[in-house]
């Protein structure tokens, strides 16, 4: 949510006027006016800084100003102003946002190394390592060295530096804001080029860092350059509704009275919308009323008062329920917290209301800038760095970690530049959970493909599917905030025992050429199916787990995966694999067949009946094994007499046993004899792929089992069910046989058959 108005800081001394940068920017946009040069800019910086940090040491700021003024002396901007006015204006912007002294020192010096004879070593010697790092982070790369790649490589350098210290990007954003304010002296084509980069890269970065005070003014300045006609219409609309704030002022008075009666101390402010916000509202609602040109902002002391204000407003006014959002209980990924609601006045006018604490408002306006120095350790831990000896940035969000990860895989500056813009075009972020309790931060609209690459890196090339919230899902399934995701990777190299799983939705095909499934062994009596939650293997925090599968033409991504990948990391990895394996793309599976395929084979004449392995308490009664559960030694079994005097043997847990007991049938005691030969029915669940049937039958034959019959059901959502009736020479071979079938690429589960209960008269 944008922040269009500024609330006076509670700690500000009375009687001292506040330099409202946003008001100055708004006045400049509304029309020409006299902009007096600041009489003593460094004193304004010091005054603004002391308002947020009363105990700040200003000596270092004065030293930085002296060095900057001396080094830039004789240099002028294209507007004709002395160049020193630029670093001073950038520093003043940051000081008004509440930046700490180190950031202001670096902002005063941010162009010295780039445009003067001052060196980084001099900055380091005079001001320390932190200031040197910040100055180096915002210093542009020379075009003479990088040519056309200078701009993208400069942004790559800044982003990498921001990964270690977010204050680098704070200085860059303030630098771009002042440059945009003074862009009118440039040629129109250069204005458009700079405005497009600002729109595609800097504004999204300001949004993600939560620096709304900079983001909204940048939006207005870009709007004026890239869309002059729409801007002029919006400007005329705002100018023609100069009294529109009166309608909100009346509602604000009513809100103050309600909160005063409820004894909730609060400041109620009218916040005018900025130009882009008014333009968007007009596109959404058509004709605008007076209350559409602004919002009400209610500031309170603590979180509980926020909900107290919300209750009073919904009690005393008519709430517009569809407009309610709670960003306090669920903050946005850019640190933003607030309650949003809307209430209707008696005349039908609707006023949007933002409710937040003073601290929330400070963060909403300044984002990471308001957090001060993220590396300043508490006094009792100042001498105790992290376990790895490196400082940790608590403000480093998930999107920045993802960006830093994928940029390493894009040495080509053009690919980096296009991928960066595509990544920053994602408007939201979601958090999904891993089965081991860890989390993954992904952009809104991410799929299981993105989750797999975010968790496992290039090892995700062997991903065969996923489980989302415990249910088997396809790779293209779009994830929602709060989902539990478990990517399923193929078996690792020989000798490894790494087993992976992921989750996806059943509505999106996983790709017909996915090669393998999880190899977590299931017990011979454990039923499983597509909806049975997978048993996750050992969790590994590393991006690429130990024993991860090495990509090869037989197990790699399909071109279809690019349709599901939303993150640059996934797209870059998939594109790289496909480029390295031009002949390794697997052939799509054939269209689903309408008929079930069945094959059978006669057993050799030397084999004995499996019923010979069972002895009944009725010695003369013929015995046969039930086909519904195909019991084998050492299963616990029971029997029932059926028509003709035969005894049918069932596993104790067979549904048919419960049906016959419910019908009053008396069980017959049975037990296994000495014969070890048996017949069993197994069900193999798998992802569809070419040669799957051949590989399964080969695994069965290698295990020494004879196939009595086999049934392959038509594919459903790219999943295939194979049912085999097998003859084993020794029942003890069954667990090894099931493991061998699970090891076949594409097979994710093998279980004993569990058919519906037969009728009591079977």
If DSSP codes are grouped into helix, strand and coil, which group holds residue 164? helix
Distance CA 546, CA 431 (A): 25
Beta bridge partners of 624: 648
| Phi, psi torsion values for 539, nearest 5 degrees | -85, 140
468 exposed, middle or buried (CB, 10 Å; 0-12, 13-18, 19+)? buried
Question: Token digits for 29?
Answer: 């946009």
Distance CA 284, CA 294 (A): 15
What length does the chain have?
762
What ranges in 241-302 are assigned the alpha helix state H?
245-261, 275-285
Distance CA 614, CA 725 (A): 19
Distance CA 651, CA 670 (A): 11
Estimate to the nearest angstrom the gap between the alpha carbon of 87 and the chain centroid: 36
Nearest to 555 by CA among 500, 601, 623, 507: 500
First to last CA, the chain: 69
Say if CB 529 and CB 441 are below 8 A apart. no
Say if CB 166 and CB 372 are below 8 A apart. no
The catalytic residue among 69, 81, 114, 230 is 114
Beta bridge partners of 467: 486, 504
Distance CA 174, CA 180 (A): 10
| Phi, psi torsion values for 54, nearest 5 degrees | -60, -30
Distance CA 381, CA 157 (A): 31
Distance CA 127, CA 552 (A): 52
Say if CB 717 and CB 509 are below 8 A apart. yes
Task: Compute the Cα dihedral for 668, 674, 680, 685 and give only its sign.
Answer: positive
Number of neighbouring beta carbons within 10 Å of residue 760: 15
- The per-residue DSSP string of 551-613 comes to PBTTB---TTHHHH--SHHHHHHHHHHHHH-TT-PPPPPPPPPSS-EEEE-PPPTTPPPGGGG
Distance CA 443, CA 447 (A): 9
Q: At what angle do helices 85-97 and 59-72 cross, to 10 degrees?
A: 150
Active site (annotated) includes residue 47: no
Estimate to the nearest angstrom the gap between the alpha carbon of 14 and the chain centroid: 45
| Three-point CA angle 710, 714, 720, nearest 5° | 75
The catalytic residue among 81, 115, 230, 254 is 115
Instruction: Look at the block and give the residue holding tokens 């493909």.
Output: 449
How far is residue 126 from each of residues 61, 63, 105, 175, measured CA to CA in Å? Answer: 12, 9, 11, 23
Active site (annotated) includes residue 175: no
Distance CA 376, CA 100 (A): 11
Distance CA 542, CA 309 (A): 46
What ranges in 397-490 are assigned the alpha helix state H?
398-407, 413-424, 448-456
Please list, in sequence order, all residues whose beta carbon lies within 8 angstroms of the beta carbon of residue 455, skipping any fewer than 6 positions away.
434, 440, 487, 502, 543
Torsion on CA atoms 339, 344, 349, 351, rounded to nearest 10? -10
Question: Token digits for 57?
Answer: 């040491």
Say if CB 760 and CB 659 are below 8 A apart. yes
Question: Token digits for 36?
Answer: 């007096």
Say if CB 678 and CB 610 are below 8 A apart. yes
Task: Please list the active-site residues.
Answer: 114-115
């Amino acid at each position: 949510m944008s922040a269009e108005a500024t609330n006076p800081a509670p700690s500000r001394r009375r009687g001292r006027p506040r330099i409202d940068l946003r008001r100055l920017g708004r006045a400049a946009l509304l029309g020409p006016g006299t902009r007096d040069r600041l009489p003593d800019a460094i004193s304004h910086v010091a005054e603004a800084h002391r308002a947020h940090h009363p105990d700040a040491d200003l000596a270092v700021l004065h030293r930085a100003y002296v060095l900057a003024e001396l080094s830039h002396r004789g240099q002028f901007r294209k507007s004709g102003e002395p160049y020193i006015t630029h670093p001073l204006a950038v520093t003043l912007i940051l000081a008004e946002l509440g930046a700490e002294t180190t950031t202001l020192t670096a902002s005063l010096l941010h162009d010295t190394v780039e445009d003067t004879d001052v060196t980084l070593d001099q900055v380091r010697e005079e001001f320390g390592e932190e200031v040197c790092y910040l100055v180096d982070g915002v210093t542009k790369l020379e075009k003479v060295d990088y040519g056309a790649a200078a701009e993208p490589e400069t942004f790559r350098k800044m982003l990498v530096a921001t990964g270690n210290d977010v204050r680098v990007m704070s200085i860059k954003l303030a630098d771009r804001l002042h440059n945009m304010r003074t862009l009118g002296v440039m040629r129109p084509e250069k204005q458009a080029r700079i405005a497009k980069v600002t729109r595609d890269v800097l504004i999204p970065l300001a949004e993600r860092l939560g620096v709304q005070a900079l983001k909204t003014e940048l939006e207005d300045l870009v709007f004026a350059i890239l869309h002059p006609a729409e801007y002029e219409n919006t400007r005329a609309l705002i100018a023609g509704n100069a009294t529109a704030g009166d309608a909100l002022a009346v509602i604000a008075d009513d809100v103050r009275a309600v909160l005063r009666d409820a004894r909730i101390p609060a400041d109620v402010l009218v916040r005018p919308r900025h130009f882009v916000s008014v333009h968007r509202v007009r596109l959404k609602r058509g004709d605008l009323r007076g209350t559409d040109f602004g919002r009400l902002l209610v500031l309170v002391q603590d979180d509980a008062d926020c909900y107290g204000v919300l209750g009073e407003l919904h009690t005393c006014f008519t709430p517009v329920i569809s407009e309610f959002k709670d960003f306090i209980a669920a903050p946005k990924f850019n640190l933003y917290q607030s309650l949003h609601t809307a209430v209707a006045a008696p005349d039908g006018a609707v006023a949007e209301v933002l409710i937040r604490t003073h601290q929330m408002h400070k963060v909403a306006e300044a984002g990471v800038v308001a957090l001060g120095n993220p590396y300043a350790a508490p006094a009792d831990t100042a001498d105790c760095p992290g376990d790895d000896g490196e400082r940790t940035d608590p403000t480093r969000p998930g999107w920045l970690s993802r960006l830093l990860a994928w940029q390493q895989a894009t040495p080509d500056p053009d690919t980096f530049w296009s991928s960066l813009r595509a990544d920053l075009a994602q408007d939201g972020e979601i958090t999904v959970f891993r089965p081991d309790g860890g989390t993954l931060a992904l952009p809104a609209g991410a799929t299981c493909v993105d989750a797999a690459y975010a968790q496992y890196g290039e090892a995700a090339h062997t991903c065969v599917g996923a489980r989302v919230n415990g249910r088997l899902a396809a790779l293209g399934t779009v994830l929602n905030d709060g989902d539990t995701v478990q990517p399923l990777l193929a078996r690792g190299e020989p000798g490894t025992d790494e087993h992976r799983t992921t989750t996806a939705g059943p509505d999106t095909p996983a790709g017909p050429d996915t090669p393998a499934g999880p190899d977590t062994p299931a017990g011979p009596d454990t039923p499983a199916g597509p909806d049975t939650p997978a048993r996750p293997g050992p969790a590994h925090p590393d991006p690429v787990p130990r024993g991860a599968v090495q990509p090869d033409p037989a197990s790699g991504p399909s071109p279809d995966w690019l349709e599901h990948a939303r993150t640059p990391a996934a797209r870059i990895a998939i594109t790289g694999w496909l480029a390295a394996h031009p002949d390794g793309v697997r052939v799509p599976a054939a269209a689903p067949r309408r008929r079930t395929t069945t094959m059978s084979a006669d057993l050799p004449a030397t084999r004995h009946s499996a019923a010979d392995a069972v002895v009944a308490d009725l010695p003369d009664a013929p015995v046969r094994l039930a086909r519904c559960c195909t019991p084998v030694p050492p299963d616990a079994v029971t029997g029932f007499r059926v028509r003709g005097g035969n005894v049918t043997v069932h596993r104790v847990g067979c549904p048919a046993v419960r049906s016959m007991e419910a019908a009053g049938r008396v069980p017959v005691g049975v037990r296994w004899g000495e014969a070890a030969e048996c017949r069993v029915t197994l069900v193999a669940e798998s992802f569809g792929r070419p040669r799957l049937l051949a590989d399964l039958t080969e695994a069965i034959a290698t295990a020494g089992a004879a196939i009595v019959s086999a049934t392959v059901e038509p594919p459903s959502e790219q999943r295939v069910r194979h049912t085999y009736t097998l003859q084993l020479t020794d029942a003890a071979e069954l667990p090894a046989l099931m493991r061998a079938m699970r090891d076949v690429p594409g097979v994710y589960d093998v279980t004993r058959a569990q058919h519906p209960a037969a009728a009591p008269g079977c």
